[in-house]
Chain A
Amino acid sequence: AAGVIQSPRHLIKEKRETATLKCYPIPRHDTVYWYQQGPGQDPQFLISFYEKMQSDKGSIPDRFSAQQFSDYHSELNMSSLELGDSALYFCAIERGNTIYFGEGSWLTVV
């Protein structure tokens, strides 16, 4: 079945460190989205890619960057981590005008 694999599932980093989250659409998919869900909040759109090009940008901090690679997997890079970056990060794909989410990557910044 089609889906989204995210890794790592859990990550603990210290303040000011860097973290990289990975997303693997299965089968490979031309459109990828990243969302951030803080504690007790609804998911917030960060950024999306279509055919390896950035297609839309939301409330993504300048400390964050993302990329979609030639094999269509995507990575979200977060630098100078802050305590407020602790959240659940979702990667998602679009299929038939519907967005389907991966299981998410938990980032804890200590």
Chain B
Amino acid sequence: AQTVTQSQPEMSVQEAETVTLSCTYDTSESDYYLFWYKQPPSRQMILVIRQEAYKQQNATENRFSVNFQKAAKSFSLKISDSQLGDAAMYFCAYRRENTDKLIFGTGTRLQVFP
């Protein structure tokens, strides 16, 4: 069975600095998708970034980028120039291609200090 592990329950960063959130996963599949979702205090589940496993290039969305290491089954999220609005719970998630389920990690709570 696929699993997703986020080993950092909490992280903190100073405004304008860079922070990296870790995620590892376990799967025997070769084709799959990885995601980072942000859940602010409003509890909305907001897509931050997506990575297709078949793509070697790391995904980037503005200040958010990933370091995808397929062999190591690692998928970390880097947030550059952190802003107060980045404070949230961040969930790493896995989805096997052509199946329904999103499997989530337990989340990392990010605090941003001015």
Contact = CB atoms under 8 A, between A and B. Distances in A.
Nearest to B44: A103
Contacts of B107: 42
A42 B106 contact: yes
Contacts, number: 55
A87 to B, nearest CB: 11
Interface string B53-93: 00000000000000000000000000000000000000100
Given A97-B95, A98-B33, A98-B50, A45 B45 contact: no
Nearest to B91: A42
B59 to A, nearest CB: 12
A101 B99 contact: no
User: Which of A31, A44, A55, A97 counts the most chain B CB atoms within 10 A?
Assistant: A97
B101 A58 contact: yes
Interface residues of B, number: 23
A86 interface: no
B44 A56 contact: no
A100 to B, nearest CB: 7
Nearest to B6: A42
Contacts of B50: 98
A13 B44 CA distance: 22
A-B pairs, 9 with minimum CB distance? A101-B45, A42-B104, A56-B100, A48-B100, A45-B101, A99-B102, A42-B106, A43-B104, A103-B44
